[in-house]
Amino acid sequence: MAVGVLADVGGSAVKVTAADLTSGEVLACTTARLDSHRPDAWTVEADPARWMRCIATAIDQAVTMVEQPIAALTVASLRQGYILVDGDRELTPLVLNSDRRGRHQLAYLSAQVGSDRLYDVTGHWLAPELTLPKLLQTAAAQPEIWASTTAVLSLHDWLIWRLTGRTVAARSIAGSSQLLQVVDGSWATGLLDEVGLGTNRLPDLVDAGTCVGTAAFATSHDVDIVVGGGDTHVASWGVDGDREGTVVVVAGSSTPLQAAVTRPPTDPLRHPWIGPHLLPGLWAAETNAGYPGAILEWLSTLTATPVAELAARAQKSEPGARGVTAPVGTLAWTQQSWAERPANAVVGFGPTHALEDVARAVIEGHAYSIRSNLTDLERACGTSAGRIVLTGGAAHDPCFSQLVADVLNRPVVVPDTAGAAARAAVRLVGGTAPPVPTQTVQPEPRPQYEDGYGRFRTACELATRYPRDEA
């Protein structure tokens, strides 16, 4: 039996999945919590040594559980994190994707490059979480460390480096950093020279599926280490999101929507983020419905009610949440909507309502935001999705899957989540496992959802008058 392993590294946990490379059967699955810290309101960092110990332990546990030799290991990770290294040592903490130190550099980039040109070159509009403005801020604030840096590594690339000693850059993750030229998937040399960063600290770009070395884990030695990619790209890969006409919705704390396209869309509104997909010759066009899943988690904390119980109580309300509206997501993934970050709100809540109605309004807001962003992504790509795949944590709830199908008034394909991670690992390391089992949820359209969607859009537009204070 040949076994492949996927280590999926997020901002708060690592999940390791081991799978049979022929059948795709999940043989082991382990998780480990990853801690981060906030030195100030804008900075989110992690200790690389501590993270490496946790990740290595999770991998070793999975390898030990399988009791079979491991043929290959690949990696998925969050995309806007990075670390600076010098030879064989880390110079900085891991800077995570939610870090916003780059806010200090947005005015400079806007004046020096221009928002439209920046998008046209890199496929990404101005945002403080992206690697480009964060690197500019690091270089400005810590010139001694920047001068000593020999390589800038994404979180994925850092783990590959720790395992193999090689410094390489996964192209799909580089494509999400604002450092890559979207048209051909090469480093944006002209742009980076213009802003003073250059490219001499950027590693060679490699495509997903490339073996870059070997490592040993627990009972397995000489395990091939294979380049993976960004978390959403890999999640899409596991459910055959590279199929033409497919949009994959990863409904978790945040909710990215991603389509694989054969050429970068030319959107005059410059909305979706665009970068190389895992497979050469494909690009990923991506929007994001915001953080409605995180808002449900916040409501859970506020009311001391587990998320699963909130979801169950929401079913005791009715479609349309009895007139309660929660503008908890985005109408479209744009520079303006991201910069404004309107305050979250509950609209239409009165003495006759209960927690059930508020919970349902938040959950419906999640579905409405998916609908609005799907519509905008289809507009930007110039085609309607023939297949919509819903995955991520929220997809585990059949009521939510049905709600999304009803709100979209379109069939929604829901795959087996564990099987999807296994298939992603199998595909990345060259295995031939069959597609994962799926369920197609047929829509049951209700007029209350059309009314609710209209209220949601109005509430989101009004909420922009009250931007969130995140200081």
Question: What is the reported pLDDT for 467?
Answer: 67
Q: Which of 331, 328, 305 is nearest to 457 (CA)?
A: 331
Chain center to CA of 392: 10
pLDDT per position as a tens digit, 343-365: 778 999 999 999 999 999 999 99
User: Residue 373 corresponds to which tokens in the numbers above?
Assistant: 């962003």
pLDDT in tens, 119-143: 999 999 999 999 999 999 999 999 9
Instruction: Write down all domains in the chain, each with its CATH number in brackets.
Output: 3-229 (3.30.420.40), 241-409+445-463 (3.30.420.40)
Q: Work out the burial of residue 188: count CB atoms within 10 Å of its CB; fewer than 13 is exposed, 13-18 middle, 19 or more buried.
A: buried
β-strand pairing of 273-276 with 246-250: unpaired
> Using 50, 70 and 90 to split pLDDT, how confident is the model at 469?
low
0.85 surpassed by pTM? yes
Please state, as a whole number, how many other Cβ atoms lie within 10 Å of the Cβ of residue 328: 30
Nearest 5°: phi and psi at 132? -55, -55
Q: Is 122:188 a contact under the CB 8 Å cutoff?
A: yes
What stretches of 67-130 show up as alpha helix (H) in DSSP?
Answer: 106-112, 115-122
User: Stretch 332-352: mean pLDDT, rounded?
Assistant: 87
- In order, the DSSP letters of 316-382 are TS-TTGGG-B---B-SS--HHHHHH-BPP--BS--TT--HHHHHHHHHHHHHHHHHHHHHHHHHHHT
What is the tens place of the pLDDT at every residue in 68-83?
A: 889 999 999 999 999 9
